[in-house]
Amino acid sequence: ADRTKPCTFFCGGARNHAHFLDLMDAAFILTVDVQTLTRRLSNRGSDEFGGHASERDIVLHLHATEVDMPESGVRIDATRPVAEVADAILGLCGLPPVCLPR
2: left (phi over 0), alpha (psi -120 to 50) or beta: beta
Q: Is residue 4's pLDDT more than 90? A: no
Q: Is residue 14's pLDDT more than 80? A: no
pTM across the whole model: 0.79
Q: How far apart are the first and last CA of the chain?
A: 31
Question: Band of the pLDDT at 102, cuts 50, 70, 90?
Answer: low
The C-alpha atoms of residue 90 and residue 81 are separated, in whole angstroms, by 15
